[in-house]
A and B are shown apart, each in its own frame.
Chain A
Amino acid sequence: MNNFGVIEIASTTTKSTPGWAYVPDTGPTLPAALQPTNRKRAARNQPALSLSDLSAREETRIRKELEALDRDNPRDLSIPIPPKPGGSGRAQNKHTSNVRKILQSQKTFANHLDDYQAMLALAETNPAAAAAMNAALAKPSTPTTATAKSASPAPTQSPSAAGGSKRSAAAAKRAAAKEKQEQEKERKRPAKQQPPKPDPSPSTQDSPAPPAQPPVQNDGATAADVEMPDAPPATGTNTSTTTTTTTPPATAPQPQPQPQTYPRESLILPPYQKPPPRPHTGDNDPLLVSYVPPFPTDDELRALMTAPPLSYLEARAKWGDGGGEEARYPPRTFCAVCGYWGRVKCMRCGTRCCALDCLTLHGEECVGRFGG
C-alpha cells in the first residue's frame, strides 16, 4: 500500500496547556486521546491491540476523527463574557484567593485530567513528591481516601469492599498512598510554620498549605485513621447472620418467591413482604424449578454501598473487562460514501465502500485529495 512515505505516530499528549501542567509519563501510548491510558488497564488490553489489524496510519485517522467528534464547536474560538446589561449584579464582594484562582484558570478538562493522572502516577512511586504536587494543585486529599470518619453523621467507608477484587485492591493501594501523603503533610506541617490552632478560614489553605484536618468531635469518634487496614465493617450488629438472604425486592414477576427459604433477616434490603403467589401444580416439577441466586449478605451489601468512588478513568468502560470479550463482536465496516456495509476496499487508500458506484465516487475524491 502506498503510504506516501509517511507514517504518523499516534500520540496522546497533544493538549496545549495554558500555564503549566504535569504531563504523566504513561509508558506505551494508546492511540487516541479519547481513549486515554490507565496503565494497568492498558497492560491488560495489549493483546486486543496487537490483534487489531489497523495500521498506524488508520489509527491516526480514527484518532483524529474521534477528536473531531468530541468537540463542542467545529473550530477554536473564544467567546467573551458579555458585560452585564446595565443591571446591578450580585454585590461583588472581594474574591477570596481560591475564587480568584479558579476564575482565572483557563485549564480544560483534559488539563485537569492530566494533572490528576500525573499525581496518581507519582503517588505510586514517590509519595513525598506527590504530596507536594498534590498541595501545589490546591487539591484536598481525594474523596477516595476513607478518612471522613470523624464528626458529622458521615459514615465510615469500608475499604474491604468486595473481598479484594483487583479494583478495590487498587483503590486501597491508592488510598494507602494518599495516606502516606497525609502523613507526609502532617510531618511538614510544623516546618511550614502553620499556626498551631486549626485554621478557621478555608482561604488560608490556599495553594501549598495542607487541607484542613477533619475535626475531632466529642462524640468519641477518632480522626486518627492513618492506617488503612481491611477494617471490619463498621460496628456490625448483623455480622453473625452471614447467611442472610432475601428475595430481590421490587422485581415484579420474579422467580417464584419462597419466603420460607429466604430468612427475612436482611436489615439493609427489607424482605419480600407480599404473600407468596398462589400454589401452582407445576411448583414441584423438577423441570420447572428456577434457580434463584443466593442473595448477598448484609456485610457484602454494606461493603458495596460504602465503597469509595472510582477515578474518572477507572470508571470508563473498556473492551475486555468482565462481561465482554475484547470486542464482543468483530468491528463492522461501512461504506464511507453511503453508509451501507463496506464490502470492498479502495486499492489506493484502503477506504471501505459498498460497491462499484460508491467506489467510483470515492475514487474521484481519492485522486483529487492526493493528486494521484
Chain B
Amino acid sequence: MVTNRKFRSAGPPPPATTLVLDNGADTIKAGFVAGGKASEPRIIPNCIARDRHKKLYVGSELERCRDFGEIAFRRPVEKGFIVNWEAQREIWDREFFDDTAPQECDPSETRLILAEQPNSLPALQTHCDQMVFEEFGFASYYRGIGPSFNAYQDVQAVFRTPREPDTPVEIPAEVILLIDSGYSHTTVTPILQGRPLHQAIRRLDVGGKLLTNYLTRLLSIRHFDMRNETYIVNEMKEAVCYVSLDFKGDLEKSWKGTRGERREDYVNGAGVAKDYVLPDSHTRFHGIVREYEPGASSRARKGAVVSTEDVLTLRNERFAVPELLFNPSDIGMRQPGLADLVMQSLSVLPIGLWPGLLANIVVVGGNAKLDNFIQRLQMELLERVPDECVVRVARPADPITSTWQGAANFAMHEHVEQLAVTKREYEEYGAGWVARKFAAGLGVSS
C-alpha cells in the first residue's frame, strides 16, 4: 500500500497518532493509525440502551446484555448525522477518553479523522467542529464524507481486476461510483481521484432501520406482535432476508392460493419459506434459522406438539422487505429505487464519465451484506444503460468497515496534510473558516 508522508514545511509536525472514526447511526467503527500502520477497527454500538429490567448500557457495554427482549435505544445519530451531543459525548468519553476506556487516547496529542454522511446541515457540522476542538480538544482534525474515504483503497482488488504484478496500486482510485447503504439511508456518490462530485450525490431515504421496522410491521400483522422487539427483528432480518432476483416468481412461490386452496409451492416451501425460532429469553438469547418444515409452526401454535419454541415461518417477508431498496413505492414512498437513483446521479454528469463510473460501482454499508444485493443492482442497471456499457458492481470483503479502512488509508496519505486543520487554526480563524475549508475539499491542482 502506498503511504506517502509529506509534511508541510511550516508548523509543528502533525500528531503521531490518528483516531479514525466512522461514527454511524447504528455502530461506530473506531481504530488508530500510528507509525504508518492501522489497527483493526472496533465496532461499537452507537447507542445508550435500556433493557426490560431498566438496566442501561452505554456503547460497547451492550456486549454484556444477554436478554434483548423489549430493549430500547437512544441514538445520538439521527438520519446519519450527530444530533444529540449529550449522548454522543458520553459514548465517546467511555470508549476513547476516560481512563478506563477500551481505546483510550489523549485528544491533545491526537488527530481525529471523522467520517460524516454527505449533505449534512451546516449547523450540525458546526456543532461537531466546536465539540471536537472546544470540548475534546483534538490537536488536529478532518471531517470528510464517508463515501470519499472508500476511494482510498485498492478498489481494483475489490473487482478482482487482473493486474500485472508490478503495477502500483492507485490510491485514491481514479474513478468509482460509491453506494453506501446503511442504517439511515442509501447514498450514491461518484468520486474522481478521491474528490466527490457533489452535484451528483443522491440519497434514497431507505436504510436498515426502515427495513427492520417494515419487517416488524409485517410480522406483527401476520404472526406475533413484535413491535417492541426491534433488536430481535433486526437479527431476524440479517439472518433470513435476501434480495430477490425474480420478485414475481418468488411471490408466486410464496402464495397460498385462492379460496381454501394450498398450492404445492406453498406447502413444500419452494426454497423460499424458512422457519425462524425466536429467542425465549431464558435459554436462547438469539434466534435460529431452520429449514422450513411444513406445518412446524402451525402445529406448535396449536399445541399439537409439546414445544417451548416460538417458531415463525417466513415466506415473502424474506424478500419483500429488502425489495424496498429497489421499489420504495411498494410502501408509498415517492422516491426512485436504487438503480434509478444511480441513473439520476449519472444524469447530471457528462456521458463521457458514465462508462468509468458504471464499471466501478462499489457497495458498502450493512445492507450490502444482504444476499443478491450486488447481483440485483447489476441486473437492473444493465436494463437501463446502452448495451455496450460494462456494468460492474462489487462489494468489499467487509462492507461495514470499508469506510473506516479507507479513512485509515487516507490518514496515511499525503492528502490528509492538505485537509486537516489544527486546533490553533480553529482558534485563530474560527469555525466558519474550518467549515469552508472542509467543504472545499482537495480541489484540483492545475
Contacts and interface: CB of A to CB of B under 8 A. Distances in A.
Chain A, interface residues (CB within 8 Å), range:
35 or more
B286 interface: no
B317 interface: yes
B291 interface: no
A113 B193 contact: no
Nearest to A334: B330
B197 A305 contact: yes
B66 interface: no
A339 B430 contact: no
Given A81-B87, A99-B130, A99-B134, A356 B259 contact: yes
Interface string B324-356: 000101111111110011011111111111111
A248 B119 contact: no
B72 A77 contact: yes
- Decide if the interface of chain A is mainly helix, strand, loop or mixed: loop
Contacts of B315: 339
A105 interface: yes
A140 B435 contact: yes
Contacts of A199: 430
Interface string B391-407: 01000000000000000
B98 interface: yes
Contacts of A165: 199, 348
Interface in B208-231: 209-210, 213-214, 216-218, 221-222, 227-228, 230
Nearest to B50: A79
Contacts of A212: 429-433
A339 B217 CA distance: 12
Interface string A168-211: 10010000000000000000000000000011111101000001
B373 interface: no
A201 B427 contact: yes
A293 B386 CA distance: 11
B83 to A, nearest CB: 5
A118 to B, nearest CB: 12
Chain B, interface residues (CB within 8 Å), range:
35 or more
Contact of A234 (B78, B329, B446): B446
A167 B122 contact: no
B335 A315 contact: no
A323 B344 contact: yes
A267 to B, nearest CB: 7
B446 A233 contact: yes
B93 A354 contact: no
Contacts of A268: 192-193, 444
B433 A215 contact: yes
B56 A155 contact: no
A139 B445 CA distance: 30
A44 interface: no
A302 B193 contact: no
Given A89-B93, A112-B83, A251-B355, A155 B440 contact: yes
A346 interface: no
A340 B255 contact: yes
A113 B205 CA distance: 15
A258 interface: no
B131 interface: yes
A203 B427 CA distance: 9
Contacts of A156: 440, 443
Residue from the set B99, B187, B204, B430 with the largest chain A CB neighbour count within 10 Å: B430
A140 B98 contact: no
B130 A102 contact: yes
A237 B133 contact: no
B340 A328 contact: yes
A339 B201 contact: no
Given A155-B445, A319-B334, A102 B258 contact: no
Given A109-B79, A250-B174, A319 B336 contact: yes
Residue from the set A138, A143, A171 with the largest chain B CB neighbour count within 10 Å: A143
A269 B83 contact: no
Interface string B95-112: 001111000000000000
Contacts of A84: 94, 98
B175 A252 contact: no
Given A74-B230, A322-B347, A332 B203 contact: no
Contacts of B330: 331-332, 334
Contacts of B246: none
A125 interface: no
A42 B127 CA distance: 30
B196 to A, nearest CB: 8
B195 to A, nearest CB: 4
Contacts of B210: 69-70
Contacts of A250: 155-156, 161, 170, 173-175, 356, 359-360
Contacts of A319: 334-336
B73 A73 contact: yes
Contacts of A62: 331-332
Nearest to B192: A305
27 contacts: A69-B210, A79-B49, A99-B131, A112-B121, A139-B126, A142-B122, A148-B439, A151-B433, A165-B199, A165-B348, A200-B427, A205-B431, A236-B446, A248-B175, A268-B193, A269-B174, A293-B351, A293-B352, A296-B350, A302-B444, A305-B444, A307-B199, A323-B347, A338-B255, A338-B316, A339-B316, A340-B255
Given A79-B72, A144-B439, A214-B429, 4 more contacts: A155-B443, A321-B336, A322-B344, A357-B259
